[in-house]
Amino acid sequence: MNFFEFAGSVLPRFLGAVGITLELTAVGIGAGLVLGLLLALTRVYANRVVSGIANVYIQFMRGTPLVIQVLVIYFGLPPYFKAIGLKPLSSLAAGCLAMALNSAAYQAEYIRGAIQAISSGQMQAARSMGMTKTQAVRHVILPQALRIVLPSWSNELIYTLLYSSTVYFIGLEELSYASMKIAAKSGRVLDSYIVAGVMYLILVVFLSRVLAYAEARLRIPGLAIEERAR
């Protein structure tokens, strides 16, 4: 059986694994965006105590490996859940939760940088027009900040897709874990990993093209923030 015949024979299983990978990515980036937005607003506009708490969370999540966070959530929390009468999280739920909590810390910093890139005069102008601080943030600051942050957010989406492979440690059959199981069962180790790599590449290229188009359409001329290395 040549490579292409082998790839065709295992494609259905790989496609199922791609579905899990995309689900992890979508939940991680979506929930991470909501939590990251709240953290960013807290860092910029809350009092020093609350802002400090948010900063501790961000630094902790950015300063510890994602795989450790996955293992803590999946293996470390069940005894505490059991003690209060809750069922342990499934591997998919634990993976999604870990991805979201991790991504939120990075997205918070991207959004905070975008907010701070906007001239303070815009907030003052909005307040002088009778807007409350909350209204000014919602209607003036955030629409601009979310457009400014798009390049960094695009990178985060790609990272989230690629880092979803870390959940194989808890037995969730996403793309990387599926390739390992297929390699072990078939003995076609190199072929299995090449198929997985090509599928990751296709996903990354597709998302990159879509995000580049969105960035070009939504870019605000003259406003940008430096991309931060993850």
Helices 189-218 and 150-163: crossing angle in degrees, nearest 10, is 160
Give pLDDT, residue 64. Answer: 95
Higher pLDDT pick, 40 / 211: 40
d(CA 218, CA 223): 11
Residue 218 has pLDDT above 80, yes or no: no
Taking Cα atoms as reference points, which of 8, 2, 4, 19 lies closest to residue 174? Answer: 19
> What letter would DSSP give residue 165?
G
- What are the Cα distances from residue 66, in Å, to 34, 125, 142, 147? 19, 42, 28, 27
Give pLDDT, residue 188. Answer: 87
Q: What is the overall mean pLDDT for the chain?
A: 88
Give pLDDT, residue 103. Answer: 95
Give pLDDT, residue 227. Answer: 44
Give pLDDT, residue 169. Answer: 87
Q: What is the pLDDT of residues 161-171, one digit of tens each?
A: 999 999 988 88
**What does the pLDDT average to over 135-155?**
84
The share of the chain scoring above pLDDT 70, in percent, equals 94
Instruction: For 3-218, give the CATH class.
Output: mainly alpha
Give pLDDT, residue 57. Answer: 96
The share of the chain scoring above pLDDT 90, in percent, equals 52
Give pLDDT, residue 135. Answer: 85
- Tell me the three state secondary structure of residue 29: helix
pLDDT tier at 6, thresholds 50, 70, 90: confident
**What does the pLDDT average to over 101-113?**
94
Residue 228 has pLDDT above 60, yes or no: no
pLDDT tier at 222, thresholds 50, 70, 90: low
Give pLDDT, residue 186. Answer: 86
- Tell me the three state secondary structure of residue 47: coil
Give pLDDT, residue 230. Answer: 53
